[in-house]
């Protein structure tokens, strides 16, 4: 038996905020942001609930399913709209489902952790899981801090994962957490994000490379076997450093941060959905999904697209 991805969807706000617009109120410039991060614009708006519900409904439609076909909803987010109830509960009502619903938080790695949890649920008898990654990080940044305000955007991305008798899309996983790095990227209740950007950068490259190699080894593959790498979209220079160390051409990396910035839990499903719609992954091909986030947390997985 195995787990199969059967539908994908996204939910992104309409409002585009360019680097030039940010430089009207911040001591920054399009040149600095583009060169140092690769980000040119981001989308801002919605709530975690609305972004997630839009993505979830789109994934269900893509899978050809209705709300009553889903047995479990997982919402991967570090920016829930409320302490209680969970965003998953509210999204369950919005899309008209009646199954159990739960939030999970591993910061920007939340979606990948969610894939692992959904895989475990399916392996223990749950038939279909709707996994949604949604974050509204722009509600939690200090808009006078140029070190963080330029990095983030809002968005949602979702997938349907189903039990399969004969197909298995998930070949391997490598997850990790280092709780001693809590203070390098953090946001207290009611406060805004603080970050030691250089330290996050340094640790992210190391964690993503090591976990990608472990996931490749677990799948019995080498980097040359990959058709695509779908990395967390935090900084183009992090992605370039990872690709170089893994010996993977940047042509194989899916890049969306130029248009959407860092959308946290939704960055990997958003990138996957865009790559799929552009025909960049074909049946039978291998893709590496890999990300990192506050915690620090990291997660990599090799999937074979069926
Ligand atoms: N515009 C202009 N200048 C800026 C800006 C800006 N937006 N931001 C910082 N600078 C300045 C700094 O003040 C500094 O000036 P100084 O030398 O006079 O002190 C100079 O640029 C260089 O700063 P660095 O921090 O060394 O710049 P760096 O090249 O490291 O880029 C960045 C900073 C983009 C934050 C980078 O370190 C990075 O991307 N780190 C990883 C961040 C990340 O991935 N965060 C998300 C994690 S996922 C999650 O869980 C949310």
4-30 pLDDT, tens digit per residue, is 999 999 999 999 999 999 999 999 999
CA–CA distance, 169 with 114 (Å, rounded to integer): 15
Q: Decide: 299 and 106 in contact? Cβ < 8 Å.
A: yes
Of the residues 108, 159, 187, 235, only one is catalytic, namely 108
Element housing 231 (H / E): strand 226-231
In angstroms, what is the span from residue 68 Cα to ligand 1's centroid? 45
Residue nearest to atom 40 of ligand 1 (CA): 197
Q: Measuring from each residue's beta carbon to the nearest atom of ligand 1, which residues come in under 6 Å?
A: 28, 32-33, 36-37, 107-108, 146-147, 150, 185, 195, 197-198, 200-201, 204, 234-235, 262, 264, 293-294
Q: Decide: 283 and 150 in contact? Cβ < 8 Å.
A: no
> In the chain, which residue ranges form alpha helices assigned H by DSSP?
19-22, 30-37, 48-63, 87-95, 110-123, 146-149, 197-219, 236-246, 257-260, 267-277
Among 184, 197, 295, residue to substitute to test ligand 1 (most atoms within 8 Å of Cβ): 197
pTM over 0.85: yes
Segment 249-278, tens digit of pLDDT: 999 999 999 999 999 999 999 999 999 999
Q: Known catalytic residue: 232?
A: yes
pLDDT of 1 strictly over 90? no
In angstroms, what is the span from residue 273 Cα to ligand 1's centroid? 28
pLDDT of residue 287: 98
Q: Known catalytic residue: 262?
A: yes
User: In 3-state terms, what secondary structure has residue 253?
Assistant: strand
In angstroms, what is the span from residue 285 Cα to ligand 1's centroid? 36
Element housing 42 (H / E): strand 41-43
Domain 2-164: which CATH class?
alpha beta
- Categorize the per-residue pLDDT at 73 as very low, low, confident or very high, splitting at 50, 70 and 90: very high
- Categorize the per-residue pLDDT at 170 as very low, low, confident or very high, splitting at 50, 70 and 90: very high
Please state whether beta strands 226-231 and 286-293 pair in parallel, antiparallel, or not at all (unpaired): parallel
- Categorize the per-residue pLDDT at 198 as very low, low, confident or very high, splitting at 50, 70 and 90: very high
- Categorize the per-residue pLDDT at 35 as very low, low, confident or very high, splitting at 50, 70 and 90: very high
User: In 3-state terms, what secondary structure has residue 24?
Assistant: coil
pLDDT of 131 strictly over 90? yes
CATH code of domain 170-304 = 3.40.47.10
- Categorize the per-residue pLDDT at 71 as very low, low, confident or very high, splitting at 50, 70 and 90: very high
Q: Known catalytic residue: 147?
A: no
In angstroms, what is the span from residue 256 Cα to ligand 1's centroid? 19
Domain extents in the chain: 2-164, 170-304
Residue nearest to atom 15 of ligand 1 (CA): 147
In angstroms, what is the span from residue 7 Cα to ligand 1's centroid? 36
Segment 214-263, tens digit of pLDDT: 999 999 999 999 999 999 999 999 999 999 999 999 999 999 999 999 99
CA–CA distance, 211 with 299 (Å, rounded to integer): 7
Q: In the predicted model, what is the mean pLDDT of the chain?
A: 97
Percent of the chain surpassing pLDDT 90: 99
pLDDT of 66 strictly over 90? yes
pLDDT of residue 105: 98
Average pLDDT for 23-49 = 98
Cis peptide before 133 (omega within 30 of 0): no
Show the tokens assigned to 37.
């991060």
């Amino acid at each position: 038996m195995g787990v199969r991805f059967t539908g994908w969807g996204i939910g992104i706000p309409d409002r585009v905020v360019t680097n030039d617009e940010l430089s009207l109120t911040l001591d920054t410039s399009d040149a600095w942001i583009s060169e140092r991060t690769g980000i040119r614009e981001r989308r801002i708006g919605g709530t975690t609930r609305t972004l997630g519900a839009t993505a979830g409904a789109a994934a269900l439609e893509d899978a050809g399913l209705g709300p009553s076909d889903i047995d479990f909803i997982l919402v991967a987010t570090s920016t829930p709209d409320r302490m209680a109830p969970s965003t998953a509960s509210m999204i369950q009502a919005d899309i008209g489902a009646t199954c159990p619903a739960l939030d999970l938080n591993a910061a920007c790695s939340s979606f990948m952790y969610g894939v692992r949890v959904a895989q475990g649920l399916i392996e223990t008898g749950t038939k279909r899981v709707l996994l949604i990654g949604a974050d509204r990080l722009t509600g939690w940044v200090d808009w006078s801090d140029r070190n963080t305000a330029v990095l983030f955007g809002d968005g949602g991305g979702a997938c349907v994962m189903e039990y399969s008798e004969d197909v298995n899309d998930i070949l391997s996983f490598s997850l990790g957490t280092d709780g001693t790095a809590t203070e390098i990227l953090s946001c207290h209740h009611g406060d805004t994000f603080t970050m030691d950007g250089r330290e996050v950068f340094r640790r992210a490259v190391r964690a993503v490379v090591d976990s990608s190699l472990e996931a490749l080894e677990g799948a019995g593959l080498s980097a040359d076997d990959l058709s695509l790498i779908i990395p967390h979209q935090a900084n183009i220079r992090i992605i370039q450093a990872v690709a170089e160390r893994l010996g993977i051409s940047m042509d194989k990396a899916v890049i969306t941060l130029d248009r959407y910035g860092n959308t946290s839990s939704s960055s990997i499903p958003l990138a996957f959905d865009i790559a799929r719609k552009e025909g960049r992954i074909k049946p039978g091909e291998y893709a590496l999904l890999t990300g990192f986030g506050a915690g620090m947390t990291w997660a990599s997985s090799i999937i074979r697209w069926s």
